[in-house]
Structure 1
Amino acid sequence: MAILGTIVKSVYELRSIPIELRKRKDCNKAQIKVLRKLLTKAQNTAFGEHYNFPGILSKQNTVKAFQESVPTFDYNSMFRKWWYRAINGEGFVSWPGRVKYFALTSGTSESSSKQIPVTGDMIRAIRRTSIRQLVSTARYKFPIEFYEKGILMIGGSTHLNFNGTYYEGDLSGISAGNIPFWFQHFYKPGKRISRERQWDTKLDEIVKSAPDWDIGIIVGVPAWIQIILERIIEQHKLTNIHDIWPDLAVYVHSGVSFEPYVKSFDKLFGKPVIYNESYLASEGYIAFQSSLDRRVMQLVVDNGLFYEFVPFNDENFDTEGNMVENPEAITLDKVIEGAEYALLLSNCAGAWRYLLGDTIKFMSKEDCEIVITGRTKHFLSLCGEHLSQENMNKAVKMLQDEFNIEIREFTVAGFRHESMFAHKWYLGTEDDIDPELAVQKIDEYLKVLNDDYRVERIAAVTDVFLEILPPKAFSNWMKVHGKEGGANKFPRVLKGEKYEQWEAYLKDYKNNL
């Protein structure tokens, strides 16, 4: 099977100069082309007819006409007005044909989970971007033999639920169930184990099979990958994971900021491993890290996704992170480097001007390079402190570095306290640290990182509390709520009912220790 390595190297070498030029092409022109393709293909759907896609396409300024004709949607409005029809088996609702797959993602207050349409066009688009990312690893100058190693991809079960009309499951399970035949030789844990729905059983099978594999690349959410690697090391009495997988060289992570996990992961390896970030959502493969020396991701601008950017501020979002009607939405040519935006997406699965829920910053407008800063609803601003997920991640990283500790999980909540406000941090660590010292340090870091926080701490946010918990308290919460494995992540911010559930859970958890 040495042919794959040769092909990857050859493709990269043939395209290396165009790739560099493509980074500097007009990303906005590429986006306009994508939008016209999407509108053309969907013009005969119910959505396309309702919003007169043919009329939009006839206008000289397609983007302006599109924004003036089509409103913005969040999940609830898109589902209630359009996607419910596709769920019921109707075809040509917001994309041509009937939707065969729906990806299940984290729930909202209105439902236990979101059902995101995944079309054949979307599966092919994700596959194309995945191949681009694989080809981009040739920049690291691995030997050709490296590309014959296994790729361990940890995601949801490929054994999807079928209700007679459509299949539903985790996007990673849908994608793994549709991998091309030529990739099946490299894909681990393989078809049998990947069909397993029970996380504990799947974990046991992976740990048992680990010595039979020669893994070069690992892909998955950090929290679950860490558990798997620790179990393999413990079960097979290894010093580190390289004792069993000596050629492991790349870990591709997605879903959450990797900063808080770096210290923990470094201890699992016996050799340097390249940490490579990707931005794969149920709505599309949005960006991936294509260079080794820059911790940024390149936006995929020419593969079935059209982006708009809503400035993440009080004019466009309320205190709960809900987008207002008719928000300011700008295109790629008008973004400002360093400003924070919420992402609107139109895609090849029938999402139109759809609020994804993530917030990003452009680090290079010219090269379309971004970083993820958080979620529109995963921030704290009880009284104007505007504490972002990016601030939280950095504060936790600073605490780890200063005290040489590992914090495997954390979450933050805000609430009314003695007529004013307070924050409470929950840190998951097995290391010893005084909670009072930890909260003092985190408070100090945040005052440096965030001017609004510093101002509000003087009067409005009168207290900050912190509780140290065993990491298992977090993973057990996920288990209790049926969120083990796959692409599931522990929320960085807890609000309302979820915070009340968390507090009740902790009370029971501590009583049972």
Structure 2
Amino acid sequence: MGLLGSIVKSAVTLNQKFNSKTQHSNKTQEEVLHELLKTSKDTAFGKYYGFQHILESKDMLQQFQENVPIHTYNKMNFWWEQQQKFRDITWPGKPEYFAKTSGTTGNKSKRIPVTHEFSESMRKVGLSLATELPNFPVPEEVFESHVLMLSSSSDLKSHQNGHLEGEISGINIHNFPDWYDYFYCPGKEIAAIDDWDERIKEIIKKAPEWNVGSIAGIPSWVLRMLQAIMKHHQLEYIQDIWPNFKVYASGGVAFETYRKDFEKISNKDLIIIDTYLASEGFFAYTANPNSMAMKLAINHGYFYEFIPFDHRGVDEMGEILENPEVFNLSQVNTSDEYILVVSTNAGAWRYIIGDTIKFTCLSPFEIKITGRTKFFLNVFGSQLSEEKLNNAIVDTANKLEVSINEYMVGAITENNLHNHQWILVTNNNIDQEKFANLLDDKLKSLNHNYEVARQKTIDEVRLKVISKEDYTKYLEHTNKKGGQVKIQKVMKDDTIKDFLNFFN
């Protein structure tokens, strides 16, 4: 065991002891909201919605919710477009960066402001995650190994309004100090390569020079990278080139559909740490080695609210009601599913990110992401969340002993028939009729509404299987290749028909 690894692990453990405090949700979140309002009271947004009056009121939270409406991206972007040109619009100053999202919900890329305070919050959440590492059986040699971060390109684009643009992971790496190169790879030069295939070629070439102990990135693209390295260097396991590789920090999409394939390429039981790192903030991370649930960051510049993802908050299509019920952190439970609403030091106010979450624990506050509000299949009354879709795919794949990483599903009406069309991405041979029947049965057991819909409104469950190679061609065709790109799982009628036509 290396001396450096021992020193680093001891320092992290000591820091954890000094910083392990009980979370006081009410007081902590009230302090966060007070600081956000106080800092922004003289901005255009703050004056328009009366932040000073909110701060002086007897019930700050109630007044905040009465004064400031819930904001979707389109509503918030009305202000953010001005923030690109002028100072002091939704947050003091003028952001140096805007993060472009990858557009998983089918919309064009969004632009989210990245302020200095926002970047500091993300850094502090990362440090909080580091203080939890002693909870995991992390070997000391991992602490003196490289961290490989598979990000989007760090070659940011200059905008005519004077700021730089890129995906949030690229912005973070762009801002890494030079001393990060001591433990970070692939390094800023390779990370700046915009073309995904060229970047992977350089990573494959340099791989033998690195001593990688941990990797961070979206599972789909990390898996592709590791498989490409193994194929090129003719490896049986990834540890044949990186013997210290033990820790994988996942994020962006649900990990479970990738678990089996990660197990196949590793001769060690990997430590999987899930993270909730979005363009809008770094909200949560796994702190318990016995669970994939994530600890909510409640003292890092984010104020949270929660809209119940049922009749109290959304209509039958999953759209937000005009006056939904809204809860704060002290009012949530572990039974309901919620739409996450955040106010942040990037100048986002009561902003709907588009994710649905569920609490698994209230002390400390731990959550799991259950899906996207737009990844909600209810065209024919099936009421299927992404969580249930994932569970059904994983369960069916396990029963048939096959590997399914990616899938898409949509409701299609053809010849007066209402069908659910599934597309599975795999190189395994599959009995499609058997898979469809097992999948159908599992969804019925998971959701009574789906079972009723299958009897009344859904005529057939259809399945199409495509290879991983053909799926990659589709990603190239749609310009969806890259380290932080996420593909929508639930597609609209016309989108999934275009998808099928591409392969036909």
Task: Give the alignment's TM-score, normalised by structure 2.
Answer: 0.96
Aligned-partner SS, 2:499: helix
2:67 to 66, 69, 73: 69
The 5-angstrom pairing of residues 355-366 of structure 1 reads 355-366=352-363
In structure 1, the residue matched to 2:156 is 160
- Is 2:472 the partner of 1:471? no
Q: After TM superposition, where is structure 1 displaced by more than 6 Å over at least 4 residues in a row?
A: none
Runs of 5+ unmatched residues, structure 2? none
Would you say how many aligned residue pairs link Structure 1 and Structure 2?
A: 502
- Tell me how far 1:294 sits from its aligned partner: 1.6
**CA distance, structure 1, for counterparts of residue 187 and residue 5 of structure 2:** 18
Aligned-partner SS, 2:291: coil
**CA distance, structure 2, for counterparts of residue 73 and residue 4 of structure 1:** 46
- Tell me how far 1:486 sits from its aligned partner: 2.3
- Tell me how far 1:203 sits from its aligned partner: 0.6
1:144 to 140, 146, 165: 140
Aligned-partner SS, 1:310: strand
**CA distance, structure 2, for counterparts of residue 330 and residue 190 of structure 1:** 43
In structure 1, the residue matched to 2:438 is 441
**CA distance, structure 1, for counterparts of residue 53 and residue 129 of structure 2:** 37
Aligned-partner SS, 1:226: helix
CA 1:109–1:312: 2 relative to 1, 3 Å: closer
Letter paired with 1:219:
A
- Are the aligned partners of 1:474 and 1:490 in contact in 2 as well (CA < 8 Å)? no
In structure 1, the residue matched to 2:412 is 415
- Tell me how far 1:320 sits from its aligned partner: 4.2
2:335 to 319, 329, 338: 338
- Is 2:122 the partner of 1:121? no
CA 1:419–1:167: 2 relative to 1, 3 Å: same
2:196 to 190, 195, 199: 199
Q: How big is the alpha-carbon RMSD for the aligned residues of Structure 1 and Structure 2?
A: 1.8
1:295 to 292, 295, 298: 292
- Is 2:92 the partner of 1:96? yes
- Is 2:8 the partner of 1:12? no
- Are the aligned partners of 1:100 and 1:166 in contact in 2 as well (CA < 8 Å)? yes
- Tell me how far 1:270 sits from its aligned partner: 1.2
Deviation track 1:178-209 (CA, whole Å, cap 9, x = no partner) reads 12444331111001100100001001000111
- Tell me how far 1:217 sits from its aligned partner: 0.6
1:306 to 297, 303, 307: 303
In structure 2, the residue matched to 1:402 is 399
**CA distance, structure 2, for counterparts of residue 2 and residue 85 of structure 1:** 52
- Tell me how far 1:148 sits from its aligned partner: 1.2
**CA distance, structure 2, for counterparts of residue 285 and residue 109 of structure 1:** 20
- Tell me how far 1:145 sits from its aligned partner: 3.3
In structure 1, the residue matched to 2:451 is 454
**CA distance, structure 1, for counterparts of residue 58 and residue 193 of structure 2:** 52
**CA distance, structure 1, for counterparts of residue 467 and residue 312 of structure 2:** 40
Letter paired with 2:499:
W
- Is 2:228 the partner of 1:235? no
Deviation track 1:72-131 (CA, whole Å, cap 9, x = no partner) reads 11001111x2011022x2111101110111111133889621111111111111111112
In structure 2, the residue matched to 1:511 is none
**CA distance, structure 1, for counterparts of residue 495 and residue 3 of structure 2:** 50
- Tell me how far 1:8 sits from its aligned partner: 4.5
Deviation track 1:318-337 (CA, whole Å, cap 9, x = no partner) reads 44433232321110111121
- Are the aligned partners of 2:424 and 2:465 in contact in 1 as well (CA < 8 Å)? yes
Deviation track 1:382-416 (CA, whole Å, cap 9, x = no partner) reads 23221111111111111121111111211111123
- Are the aligned partners of 1:121 and 1:349 in contact in 2 as well (CA < 8 Å)? yes
**CA distance, structure 1, for counterparts of residue 128 and residue 104 of structure 2:** 33
1:316 to 313, 327, 334: 313
The 5-angstrom pairing of residues 168-207 of structure 1 reads 168-207=165-204
- Tell me how far 1:143 sits from its aligned partner: 4.1
In structure 1, the residue matched to 2:377 is 380
- Tell me how far 1:222 sits from its aligned partner: 0.8
- Are the aligned partners of 2:475 and 2:481 in contact in 1 as well (CA < 8 Å)? yes
**CA distance, structure 1, for counterparts of residue 107 and residue 377 of structure 2:** 23
Q: Which moved more, 1:400-409 or 1:230-239?
A: 400-409
- Tell me how far 1:275 sits from its aligned partner: 1.2
CA 1:311–1:285: 2 relative to 1, 3 Å: same
- Tell me how far 1:5 sits from its aligned partner: 5.4
**CA distance, structure 2, for counterparts of residue 272 and residue 107 of structure 1:** 33
Aligned-partner SS, 2:306: strand
In structure 1, the residue matched to 2:278 is 281
CA 1:108–1:326: 2 relative to 1, 3 Å: farther
- Is 2:353 the partner of 1:353? no
2:47 to 39, 46, 49: 49
Letter paired with 1:38:
L
Aligned-partner SS, 2:99: strand
Letter paired with 1:77:
K
- Tell me how far 1:2 sits from its aligned partner: 5.5
Aligned-partner SS, 1:267: helix
Runs of 5+ unmatched residues, structure 1? 508-513
**CA distance, structure 2, for counterparts of residue 5 and residue 324 of structure 1:** 54
In structure 2, the residue matched to 1:492 is 489
CA 1:251–1:62: 2 relative to 1, 3 Å: same
Aligned-partner SS, 1:73: coil
Percent identity between matched residues is 36
Aligned-partner SS, 1:461: coil
Task: Give the alignment's TM-score, normalised by structure 1.
Answer: 0.94
Aligned-partner SS, 1:184: helix
Deviation track 1:142-187 (CA, whole Å, cap 9, x = no partner) reads 3433211000000111110002411111100001111244433111
